[in-house]
Amino acid sequence: MRFLLSIAMVLVFTQSALAAKKTASKMNSTKSKVTMDMVKKRLKGFSIVGFWSMADRIPVKTDSGTFKAKSDQAFGFGAEYKASIQSKANPLPLSVVAGLNFETGRELQTAEVNGQTLNLGDGKPGFSLITTYANLSYATKQKFSVFGGLNYVLPQATNFDEVSLSPSVGFQTGVTFELAKNFAADFSHRWINIRGSKQVSQIDLNGFVLQGKYNF
């Protein structure tokens, strides 16, 4: 009789332990879901971006004239934030998009001067970019929008001897395609005019940019 009673007590304790474990697991799952929902809510509007700058023909203005340089193309990464400004007072599907990115360095490989192509040799001049930008975006359809805005670049020069490159203002315009729930792609044309000093007065970095982004 005592043996049967012991078995019964073991079964009761076992069932109680399993029930407690199941309840704790359910509570942890619910807590984890609530935490993830809170994180997603706080990150709503933010995006992580990666892009490819196709610009590789660069006009360079110097004291002796303008020549065209052939450069590497470049890649970059960054983040941006999108906020809708649509309201009862403004029924248009408009949004403001602001971002910050870093663009890898590119070297000037050759220069075309008076119809001749010159190799710039070892220690080629180059630059990388830190860019902040702001666009006004208009959603023409559910998965398609057009945008345009200004950019402000901070160039980091390498092998430019005593020439320094200064921050400057440019602009861009393009289109956005919503590819999936959290993924989108931008195709744009960007105009960047980098100011220089001494014998290099200006570098024009104009060209197409393809950008992919993950939207939170």
CATH code: domain of residue 140: 2.40.160.20
80 and 24, same domain (yes or no): no
38 and 112, same domain (yes or no): no
Q: Chain-wide mean pLDDT for the chain?
A: 83
Which pLDDT band, with edges at 50, 70 and 90, does 18 fall under? low
83 and 180, same domain (yes or no): yes
pLDDT, tens digit (0-9, with 9 covering 90-100), for 64-94: 778 888 898 999 999 999 999 887 777 789 9
Angstrom distance (rounded) from CA 81 to CA 154: 20
Query: Are 44 and 216 contacting, i.e. CB atoms less than 8 angstroms apart?
Result: yes
More confident residue, 24 or 188: 188
110 and 71, same domain (yes or no): yes
165 and 88, same domain (yes or no): yes
pLDDT of residue 155: 93
pLDDT of residue 135: 98
132 and 72, same domain (yes or no): yes
18 and 75, same domain (yes or no): no
In total, how many domains does the chain have? 2
| Amino acid letter for position 180 | A
pLDDT of residue 202: 87
In 10 A of CB 5, how many CB atoms?
9
Under 8 Å CB-to-CB from 113, ≥6 apart: which residues? Answer: 67
3-class DSSP state of 33? helix
Find the distance separating the first CA and the last CA of the chain, reported in whole Å: 63
Q: Which has the closest alpha carbon to 48: 143, 184, 210?
A: 184
129 and 144, same domain (yes or no): yes
Helices (H) and strands (E) in the chain, counts: 1, 11
pLDDT more than 90, % of the chain = 43
62 and 163, same domain (yes or no): yes
Of 28-32, 128-132, 187-191, 198-202, minimum mean pLDDT range: 28-32
- pTM, two decimals, is 0.77
pLDDT, tens digit (0-9, with 9 covering 90-100), for 20-60: 556 555 655 565 666 767 767 788 889 999 999 999 988 88
116 and 171, same domain (yes or no): yes
160 and 200, same domain (yes or no): yes
106 and 175, same domain (yes or no): yes
Range of the domain at 148: 46-215
